[in-house]
Amino acid sequence: MKKIAIYPGTFDPITNGHLNIIKRSSNLFDELIIAVTNESKKKSFFSINERIEMISQVTKEISNIKVDEFSGLLMNYAKLKNANAVVRGLRVLSDFEYEFKMAMMNNSLNKRIDTVFLMPNIKYVHISSSLIKEVSSLGGDISKYVPQFVQDKINIKKNE
């Protein structure tokens, strides 16, 4: 049976921390679907199509990855894609409580889909998409935290 995992998120924008999780997850599963959603309480900086473009560009060298858009309940999407697992990144302790509750709810909705937690490389545990946008908007150097393609897109967007 093919092992399929979904890595869901807004990825607004994708960071090197996300990429670290993606690369490692792609080694654990036959197929990794990066599922991009617009359903968030936060206002997006990039459109969903821009985010999908950035993710596709920075992951193009990884052959077992697909980038897709989804909306609605993650477990419904996972079932539709015949996924075995959902991948979630844990950066700091405060992430754990939220992710644990979400994993338990997902498990109650579909017991055959497991949640796999991965921690990013230590050099990325303090970064988030929100922090990247804030630092960039204030003129800070984000080059260590996002791929060059993403940094270029952020700079273009800031100047629009």
* Catalytic residue from among 26, 129, 133, 153: 129
**Which among 23, 79, 91, 157 is annotated as catalytic?**
91
Spatial contact of 150 and 54, defined as CB atoms under 8 Å apart: yes
13 upstream amide cis, omega within 30 of 0: yes
Within 8 A by CB and 6+ apart from 45, the residues are 12, 13, 133, 157
Assess whether 42 carries a catalytic annotation: yes
Annotation marks residue 126 as catalytic: no
91 tagged catalytic: yes
Beta strands in 10-146 (DSSP E): 31-36, 65-69, 85-89, 114-118
CA 45 to each of CA 138, 142, 144: distance values in angstroms, whole numbers, following the listed order: 15, 16, 20
**Residue 79 bears catalytic tag:** no
Catalytic residue positions, numbered: 18, 42, 91, 129
